[in-house]
Structure 1
Amino acid sequence: MKIKKFKIGDYHAEVTAILGETGVKFEKKPAIVICPGGSYMYVSKRESEAVAYDFLKRGYQVFILNYSTIGTMIEREGRQASRDELYQIASMVEDDRVLGSEFPNPLIELALTFAHIREHIHEYNVDSDNIGVIGFSAGGHLAASLSVHWNTDWLSDLVGKEARWFRPNFQVLAYPILDYELNGEIAKERGVGDPIYMSMASRMVFGAKIEDDILDKATLKNHVSSDTPKTFIWHTVGDRLVYVKNALDFADALEKAGVPWEIHTFNKGDHGLSVASEITGTVNTHVQKWIPLMFEWLEGK
Structure 2
Amino acid sequence: MKQLTMSLLATVMLHAMTNAQQEIPLYTTVPNSIPAENLEKSVTGADGITRVSNVSEPSIAVYKAEGGSGKQPAVIICPGGGYSILAISHEGVDVARAFNDMGVTAFVLKYRLPDDRIMTDKSIGPLQDAERAIQWVREHAAEYNINPHKIGIMGFSAGGHLASTLSTHYMDAVITNPKKTALRPDFSILIYPVISFNDSLGHRGSRERLIGKTPATAVIQKYSNELRVNKKTPPAFLVHAKDDRTVPWQNSELYYEALLKNKVAARVFYYEKGGHGFGMRNKTSDVKWMDVLKKWMEEQHIL
Q: Same fold (TM over 0.5)?
A: yes
Tell me the alpha carbon deviations over residues 25-79 of structure 1, each in whole angstroms, 9 at most, x when there is no partner.
9622110100110000011022011111110001111100011127xxxxxxxxx
Q: Greater relative contact order (Cα 8 A, min sep 6): structure 1 or 2?
A: 1
SS at match of 2:84: coil
Change (3 A) 1:174 1:238: same
Distance apart, 1:125 and its partner CA:
1.3
Greater per-residue helix proportion: 1
Change (3 A) 1:171 1:291: same
Counterpart of 1:112 in structure 2 is 132
- The share of aligned pairs that are identical, in percent, is 28
Equivalent residue letter for 2:250: K
Distance in structure 1 (CA, Å) of the matches to 2:233 and 2:206: 26
Distance in structure 2 (CA, Å) of the matches to 1:167 and 1:132: 9
Equivalent residue letter for 1:19: K
> 2:150 aligned with 1:125, yes or no?
no
> 2:62 aligned with 1:17, yes or no?
yes
Match of residue 245, structure 1, among 234, 239, 250: 250
Change (3 A) 1:101 1:21: farther
Distance apart, 1:207 and its partner CA:
3.4
Counterpart of 1:59 in structure 2 is 103
Tell me the alpha carbon deviations over residues 79-128 of structure 1, each in whole angstroms, 9 at most, x when there is no partner.
xxxxxxxxxxxxxx8xx534589322211111111111111112111110
Distance apart, 1:267 and its partner CA:
0.6
Distance in structure 1 (CA, Å) of the matches to 2:276 and 2:101: 25
Match of residue 28, structure 1, among 62, 71, 77: 71
Q: Tell me if the contact between 1:69 and 1:99 (Cα under 8 Å) persists in the aligned partners.
A: no
Uncovered stretches (5+) of structure 1, i.e. residues with no partner:
71-92, 188-192, 278-282
Match of residue 139, structure 1, among 159, 163, 187: 159
Equivalences for 1:1-301 in 2 at 5 Å? 1-9=19-27, 10=30, 11-21=56-66, 27-44=70-87, 45-69=89-113, 97-98=117-118, 102-150=122-170, 152=171, 155-156=172-173, 158-161=174-177, 164-182=181-199, 185=200, 198=204, 200-207=205-212, 209-276=214-281, 283-286=283-286, 288-300=287-299
Q: Tell me if the contact between 2:198 and 2:221 (Cα under 8 Å) persists in the aligned partners.
A: no
Distance apart, 1:208 and its partner CA:
5.3
Equivalent residue letter for 2:153: V
Distance in structure 2 (CA, Å) of the matches to 1:201 and 1:296: 31
Counterpart of 1:73 in structure 2 is none
Distance in structure 2 (CA, Å) of the matches to 1:201 and 1:220: 14
Report which of the two structures shows the higher radius of gyration computed on alpha carbons: 2
Counterpart of 1:80 in structure 2 is none
Counterpart of 1:85 in structure 2 is none
Q: Tell me if the contact between 1:100 and 1:106 (Cα under 8 Å) persists in the aligned partners.
A: no
Distance apart, 1:209 and its partner CA:
4.5
Equivalent residue letter for 1:15: I
Distance in structure 2 (CA, Å) of the matches to 1:233 and 1:202: 20
Runs of 4+ in 1 over 4 A off after TM superposition: 98-101
Q: Tell me if the contact between 1:99 and 1:204 (Cα under 8 Å) persists in the aligned partners.
A: no
Uncovered stretches (5+) of structure 2, i.e. residues with no partner:
1-18, 31-55
Q: Provide the aligned C-alpha RMSD in A.
A: 2.4
SS at match of 1:172: strand
Equivalent residue letter for 1:34: I
Q: Tell me if the contact between 1:68 and 1:106 (Cα under 8 Å) persists in the aligned partners.
A: yes
Aligned length: 253
Q: Tell me if the contact between 1:135 and 1:142 (Cα under 8 Å) persists in the aligned partners.
A: yes
Equivalent residue letter for 2:194: I
Distance in structure 1 (CA, Å) of the matches to 2:164 and 2:135: 17
Distance in structure 1 (CA, Å) of the matches to 2:119 and 2:66: 37
Q: Tell me if the contact between 1:40 and 1:101 (Cα under 8 Å) persists in the aligned partners.
A: no
Distance apart, 1:202 and its partner CA:
3.5
